[in-house]
Amino acid sequence: MFRLITWVLGLGIACALFGYFVILPQLGREKSDIDVTALKGDPERGAYVLRMAGCVTCHSDGQGEATFLAGGPALKTPFGTFYGPNITPDPDHGIGRMTNQEFFDAVTAGLRPDGTHYFPAFPYASYVKMDGQDVVDLKAYLDTVPAVSKAARRHEIAWPFSDRSLVGGWKLLAIKARSIVPDAGQDNAWNRGMYLVEGAGHCGECHTDRNLLGLPRGPAHGGSPKGSFSSGAPSIAGAKSVIADWTHEDITFYLENGLKPDGDVSGGKMTQVIDFATSHLTGDDLDAIARYLLSLQTPATH
Amino acid sequence: MTTIRSKFLFTGLAAVLLSASLPVLANEAYVGYRQKIMAAVGGHAGAIGAIVKSKLPEQDAIAALAEAVAKTADTVPAAFSHALHEGATDAKPEIWDNMDDFLTLNDAMRKASLALADAARKGDPAVVKKAMRDFSKSCGACHRSYRKPKEESYKQRR
């Protein structure tokens, strides 16, 4: 009997070790099969992509030249506290040494140049849907910002979440769609809106609920209830949407000014999203976002 | 002399009575009053927003509404002079630890609303847009430090 238990236990441990050291390192490693080495970046377009993708909020702590994109404030999550790293062109502390392809793999596949995983606080689960040209333009712009020689703050994450190799499994479970498939039944504005909301703008990173493993749970953009294992961002789609009765102009005006239809202003993290991202978007893009978001609202049934 | 003394006595007595009765009688009313002031600012801001976002033919009203916000801002210092932060309020106790900062932010909001009125009178849409943005930022700047976030709001408990 004792021998049997030893064997079962030993087999279990062997399986776990095999899984951890042999299978796990293979997961979440699919690079986008897109080769971006032939693309040439346009820094001016890239400056706009920076706003579309909302990079500033997590990568800048303060707005001066000494801090712009040189590392972000604490992002508190149930898994620990993350600090967006320095993405200025500094060769040692920033991303100055990254090639376009490495940068593309970082943003869209969550892979570091050394092949290990970034933590999913970096929203590559949404950025995976970004256009190659947009990402290369972004890199071209980032190469032009003043380099700041400032080391990244270490994330404060508890084990086991601190183990980067586990992120491969997370990617396998969390990332379902790898690109935006335009809906031919909708017009260009709507499709552009889908790209901005589901891809670059990564709205669902906060507005979609999460389970204990940080995997999306419940309807997309359905909000995360207070006290759940997620951000507490309100629902912006479907049955419980807080913007169900907003007009097109209510949405564009809010994303531009932070002012809700009732005259109140935005609160929480959304304030920074508006400050550093959406208020910099063109009228056409705000229209596109409104078009798409309105199509996610459930018409009142009463 | 005696009249002065009795006057002193009277005001002293009145002050004692008032301060004693304030918690019982006036606290809730004060909190409600403050909330109405904030709702007034929000109501005017919402009306301005409605004009701007839908390009209503009410452009002249923007300046009047923005000036009403500035007037309302003048009532804030007195309304918040009592440190009432318990019960059905989203005012954070930090207001009364940092009253100077709170008042500075209120004054920044007042100035931003006057700048918006000024921009609206001059009528350059780009300047109005910028002034509108600065104005709503000035609201948010104070709320960030001194208003409880939505998830901690007393309204959540109902």
Give residue-wise pLDDT tens across range B10-53: 555 555 555 555 555 578 899 999 999 999 999 999 999 999 99
Q: Give me chain A's average pLDDT, please.
A: 91
Q: Lowest mean pLDDT of A167-171, A190-194, A202-206, B19-23, name the range.
A: B19-23
Which band of pLDDT confidence, cut at 50, 70 and 90, is reported for residue A179? Answer: confident
* Chain B residue closest in CA terms to A257: B133
Domain extent for A246: 183-302
Residue pointed to by tokens 């409880």: B148
As a whole number of angstroms, the distance between CA B45 and CA B149 comes to: 20
pLDDT (0 to 100) of residue B78: 96
What is the per-residue pLDDT across A243-273, written as a single tens digit (0 to 9) for each? 999 999 999 999 999 999 999 998 888 999 9
Please indicate, yes or no, if residue B147 is contained in any of the structural domains. Answer: yes
Which stretches in chain B have pLDDT values below 70?
1-25, 157-158
Looking at the DSSP bridge assignments, the partners of residue B147 are B91
Q: What percent of chain A has pLDDT over 70?
A: 96
Residues A200 and A52: beta-carbon distance below 8 Å: yes
What is the rounded end-to-end Cα distance, in angstroms, of chain A?
A: 66
CATH number of the domain enclosing A294:
1.10.760
Which band of pLDDT confidence, cut at 50, 70 and 90, is reported for residue A34? Answer: confident
pLDDT (0 to 100) of residue A26: 73
Q: How far is B4 from chain A (nearest CA, A)?
A: 50
Binary contact (A275, B137; C-beta < 8 A): yes
Please indicate, yes or no, if residue B38 is contained in any of the structural domains. Answer: yes
Same domain, A203 and A256: yes
Domain boundary pick from A142, A157, A179: A179
Looking at the DSSP bridge assignments, the partners of residue A75 are A82
Same domain, A169 and A42: yes
Q: How far is B56 from chain A (nearest CA, A)?
A: 12
As a whole number of angstroms, the distance between CA A136 and CA A134 comes to: 6
As a whole number of angstroms, the distance between CA B142 and CA B146 comes to: 6
pLDDT (0 to 100) of residue A227: 62
Please indicate, yes or no, if residue A282 is contained in any of the structural domains. Answer: yes
CATH number of the domain enclosing B78:
1.20.120.10
pLDDT (0 to 100) of residue B158: 45
Domain boundary pick from A138, A156, A179: A179
Same domain, A145 and A229: no
Same domain, A232 and A292: yes
Please indicate, yes or no, if residue B21 is contained in any of the structural domains. Answer: no
Please indicate, yes or no, if residue B19 is contained in any of the structural domains. Answer: no
Q: Three-state DSSP class for A216?
A: strand
- Give me the number of domains chain A comprises: 2
What is the per-residue pLDDT across A79-99, written as a single tens digit (0 to 9) for each? 899 999 999 999 999 999 999
pLDDT (0 to 100) of residue B157: 54
Please indicate, yes or no, if residue B125 is contained in any of the structural domains. Answer: yes
Please indicate, yes or no, if residue B91 is contained in any of the structural domains. Answer: yes
pLDDT (0 to 100) of residue B25: 55
- Give me the number of domains chain B comprises: 1
Q: What is the mean pLDDT of residues A60-87?
A: 90
Contacts with B149 from chain A: Cβ below 8 Å:
267-268
Same domain, A134 and A257: no
Residue A29 structure tokens: 């490693």
As a whole number of angstroms, the distance between CA A280 and CA A63 comes to: 15
ipTM for the complex shown: 0.81
Residue pointed to by tokens 């593309």: A104
Residues A285 and B65: beta-carbon distance below 8 Å: no
Contacts of residue B99, defined as CB under 8 A and 6 or more positions apart, other chains included, come to none
Measuring CA to CA, which residue among A93, A178, A95 is closest to residue A139? A95
Domain extent for B64: 26-157
Q: Three-state DSSP class for A297?
A: strand
Q: Is the pLDDT of residue A31 over 70?
A: no
As a whole number of angstroms, the distance between CA B50 and CA B52 comes to: 6
- Measured CA to CA in angstroms, residue A275 lies from A63, A120, A251, B106 at distances of 11, 23, 15, 20
SS3 percent helix, strand, coil of chain A, rounded to 5, is 40, 5, 50
Please indicate, yes or no, if residue A23 is contained in any of the structural domains. Answer: no
Binary contact (A261, B44; C-beta < 8 A): no
As a whole number of angstroms, the distance between CA A104 and CA A164 comes to: 19
Can you say how many angstroms the Cα of residue A30 is from the centroid of all Cα atoms in its chain? 18
Which band of pLDDT confidence, cut at 50, 70 and 90, is reported for residue A78? Answer: confident
Q: What is the mean pLDDT of residues A188-201?
A: 97
Neighbours of B113 (CB within 10 A): 28
- ω into residue A160 within 30 of 0, thus cis? yes
- Measured CA to CA in angstroms, residue B145 lies from A160, B31, B102 at distances of 34, 18, 9
pLDDT (0 to 100) of residue B10: 57
User: For strand A74-77 and strand A80-83, is the pairing parallel, antiparallel, or unpaired?
Assistant: antiparallel
Domain boundary pick from A117, A147, A179: A179
Sign of the torsion angle spanned by Cα atoms A189, A191, A194, A199: negative
CB nearest to A271's CB, from B41, B46, B144:
B144
pLDDT (0 to 100) of residue B61: 97
Please provide the DSSP assignment of A153-178 as one string: PPPEE-TTTT-GGGHHHHHHHH----
pLDDT (0 to 100) of residue A6: 85
Residue A89 structure tokens: 């062109």
As a whole number of angstroms, the distance between CA B88 and CA B102 comes to: 20
Binary contact (B49, A253; C-beta < 8 A): yes
pLDDT (0 to 100) of residue A138: 98
Binary contact (A259, B49; C-beta < 8 A): yes
Task: Provide the edge-to-edge strand list for the sheet that holds A156-157.
Answer: A74-77, A80-83, A156-157
Residues A68 and A284: beta-carbon distance below 8 Å: no
